[in-house]
Amino acid sequence: MRSFMVLSSLARLASLAVLAACTSTPVPETQVTADTAAKTTPFEAASHLWLEEVEGADALAWVTAQNARTLGELEADPRYAGFEAAALQVLNSSERIPYGSVRDGYVYNFWQDEVNVRGLWRRTTAASYRTQAPAWETILDFDKLAADEGKNWVFKGADCFRPEAGAKYSCLLSLSDGGKDAVVNREFDIDTKSFVDGGFVTAEAKQGLAWAGADTLLIATDWGAGTVTESGYPFVVKRWTRGAPPESAAEVIRGKMTDVGVWPMVMKLDDGRVLQGAVQAETFFTSKYFWLPDGEEGAVQWPIPLKSSPKGIYKGQFLFSLEQDWTPEGLGAFKAGDLVAFELEAFLSTRTLPSVSLVFRPTETQAVDGVAVAKGAALLAISDNVVGKVLRLEPSANGWTTTPVDLPGAGQVSIAFSDEEETAVFLNYEDFLTPSSLLDYDIATGAVTTIKSLPAKFDTAGLKVGQFFATSKDGTKVPYFIIHRADMKLDGTTPTLLYGYGGFQVSMTPAYSAVMGRNWLVQGGAYVMANIRGGGEFGPNWHQAGLKLNRQRIYDDFIAVGEDLVTRKVTAPEHLGIMGGSNGGLLMGVMLNQRPDLWRAVVVQVPLLDMLRYHLLLAGASWVDEYGSPDLPEERAFLETISPYQNFDPSKDYPVPFFVTSTKDDRVHPGHARKLAKRFEEAGLPFYYFENMDGGHAAAADQTARAKRSALEYTYLARQLTGRPD
């Protein structure tokens, strides 16, 4: 167990998801009652709500027909087979870095390939891990488990607790049926490689668990009627003792149904103490953190701002980042984006805010990406003009010092592994044209060495990367990266794919994509990544500039990047395509309506599209802090101006869109994509539609499904943007 753990903190969920947004349990919003109908237009209530019935017979019949039509056309394209084969070769290749977690001299890894479709949980010794061919020991085969139990199990991770050095680990495995966010947790014995007879087992739900001791869990889950929020998250945390039925667990903290959710939180200190607690997310971006002192009733709230995020404990200092300006009484002023700290024991003894120190203040072009605490070191990952850097942090009598860590280049760096109980620290480096390298950071010397690096998976000869700035409608300079052939002619003929997200403070950073490289760059296309507002590239203010009524700024930024590409004659509208997923899928829907003339291809992945009902569907209620509430007149009035579903106009000359979603997505409701696609169908306008029956919010549960989805998308893009239908 990591000694600092905040399970399922909402602000962090946004950054963990590949297609970010949040999770929820299904609720009966698909039943059209007088209340729900009043919140829709008569058109919606009369015609399309049946498509929100996820497993409804009529809805699935429509989905099946659309899938058959789309697959029949795209798979028949002679390019499809090559795209799929190229993607499969990458995704199933054994030449992948086996990222893992270190525990007591072993490295634990989850691995999928063409043979192990659902994957293996395995381990090897730390020494073997550093060799070219580690000797892996299989702990659990999920394909076999799924076959034995008749389930489509998707592994969602392991949470292990060791009470003291050398003692036996207790592990909880999270398993999802079909890739949903809802999981079951089951206790597993690593030594016997079997589930623990009579061990902890939870019912399927959106849940959070934390080890409070070897025989005690803090658990937040669906306890029955009236125990989940309007967003479908749990808001009651209980303490559950080994051997007792879950219904006997004692309640330790309760939130409100109007919260986003409440989850367990624990901190394991250097002396072995485990501080029990919880995080109450009142909104998506505001949370209260609580400590539950041993032997006492009631909770003690941590004295930190609502918009802040705990980062860990280092040398007795409690580190947290700020997403808002903060002036604690008598302690000076801090800015949104700052990393700050105070002495933990001082708070535990007085239960009031101690003196707060500034650890790191980003410049206008920087942002704090993350903090990693290992046994003997603390590292800070930052973004500097959308380029990753790592700094080592140390407290001193004169304040905190930072020392740069040497990295291979100007790309993306992330902290792949650290744990307060381990001295191992792994970093990952990559950029658009450089495959990932796993780096070892030596705490004692500060040296960085390469443990593993991937060979090139596509030909980068003749390719170059550039960073440019577009000017948005309000004068803001918006950066974007472009990867293209060095000899690209500026004549407007280059097929160009523009990707964007713009929400939830999620940053878009340089990353190596062999699938995109093979199926797009090598084919002569250019790829563009837009760093529009709403993301976290320049800290909290860059994100907050596009919240709620200011969201049009995000869309203006994206349009500005598209127009800049045309102005610079990189491409032209007939060769320009765009792509985005989840919140980025909403961006795509807005772009369909606001600038249908600027693009010829639009890939709309697992999208939000009905912004007048999104808060009634699955986790939608948790996102009102980002988008605004359709129940508030002023915010509804704005949402009416951008909502892709309501703003569809059958008389417009739309580009042919491609909608991609998943039946098993219990995060963003598939009804969004279904309903807008249905409007295209009713208007007699061409569109493509593919709904994977498994896969959750990623729209794919295994490598084969990922390759298929990718091949469909690139086939569509090639047909639309190269001027050659086949």
- What's 311-372 look like in SS3? EEEECCEEEEEECCCECCCCCCCECCCCEEEEEHHHHHHHCCCCCEEEEECCCCCEEEEEEE
Using the predicted structure, report yes or no on whether residue 43 has a pLDDT greater than 60: no
Could you tell me if 665 and 696 are in contact, meaning their C-beta atoms sit under 8 angstroms apart? yes
Residue 243 DSSP one-character state: T
Pairing state between β 477-485 and 463-471: antiparallel
pLDDT band (50, 70, 90) for residue 464: very high
Q: Measured in whole angstroms, how far is the alpha carbon of residue 230 from the centre of its chain?
A: 21
Give the pLDDT of residue 38.
38
By CB atoms closer than 10 A (0-12, 13-18, 19+), residue 63 is: buried
697 classed as catalytic: yes
Give the pLDDT of residue 384.
95
Using the predicted structure, report yes or no on whether residue 553 has a pLDDT greater than 80: yes
Distance from C-alpha of 715 to C-alpha of 726, rounded to nearest angstrom: 9
Residue pointed to by tokens 């003291």: 164
390, part of any domain: yes
41, part of any domain: no
Q: Do 642 and 653 share a domain, yes or no?
A: yes
Q: Do 498 and 410 share a domain, yes or no?
A: no
Distance from C-alpha of 352 to C-alpha of 347, rounded to nearest angstrom: 6
Could you tell me which residues come within 8 angstroms of residue 165 by beta carbon, excluding any fewer than 6 positions away? none
13, part of any domain: no
Q: Which of 424, 456, 488 is the last residue of a domain?
A: 456
Q: How many CB atoms lie within 10 A of CB 283?
A: 18
627, part of any domain: yes
Q: Do 214 and 117 share a domain, yes or no?
A: no
Q: Do 531 and 640 share a domain, yes or no?
A: yes
Residue 112 gets the label, from left (phi > 0), alpha (psi -120 to 50) or beta, of beta
Mean pLDDT calculated for residue range 356-370:
96
- Single pTM value for the model: 0.85
pLDDT tens, residue by residue, 615-643: 999 889 999 999 999 999 999 999 999 99
Give the pLDDT of residue 268.
85
Q: Which of 278, 302, 326 is the last residue of a domain?
A: 302
Q: Do 345 and 431 share a domain, yes or no?
A: no
Residues of the chain above pLDDT 90, percent: 83
Domain count, the chain: 5
30, part of any domain: no
516, part of any domain: yes
Q: Which of 338, 361, 384 is the last residue of a domain?
A: 361
Amino acid at 402: T
pLDDT band (50, 70, 90) for residue 316: very high
Q: Do 494 and 587 share a domain, yes or no?
A: yes
pLDDT band (50, 70, 90) for residue 440: very high
Out of 436, 662, 697, 710, which one is annotated catalytic?
Answer: 697
Using the predicted structure, report yes or no on whether residue 47 has a pLDDT greater than 60: yes
Q: Do 476 and 619 share a domain, yes or no?
A: yes
Using the predicted structure, report yes or no on whether residue 27 has a pLDDT greater than 60: no
Which structural domain range is residue 426 located in? 363-456
Q: Do 653 and 533 share a domain, yes or no?
A: yes
Out of 582, 622, 643, 710, which one is annotated catalytic?
Answer: 582
Q: Do 309 and 382 share a domain, yes or no?
A: no
Q: Do 489 and 609 share a domain, yes or no?
A: yes
Give the pLDDT of residue 364.
94
Q: Do 662 and 560 share a domain, yes or no?
A: yes
Amino acid at 479: P
Q: Do 551 and 623 share a domain, yes or no?
A: yes
CA angle in degrees (0–180, nearest 5) for 394-396-401? 45
Strand, coil or helix: 513: coil
230, part of any domain: yes
28, part of any domain: no
582 classed as catalytic: yes
Record the tokens describing residue 511, joined without a space. Answer: 């990353």
Using the predicted structure, report yes or no on whether residue 139 has a pLDDT greater than 50: yes
Residue 475 gets the label, from left (phi > 0), alpha (psi -120 to 50) or beta, of left
Give the pLDDT of residue 297.
85
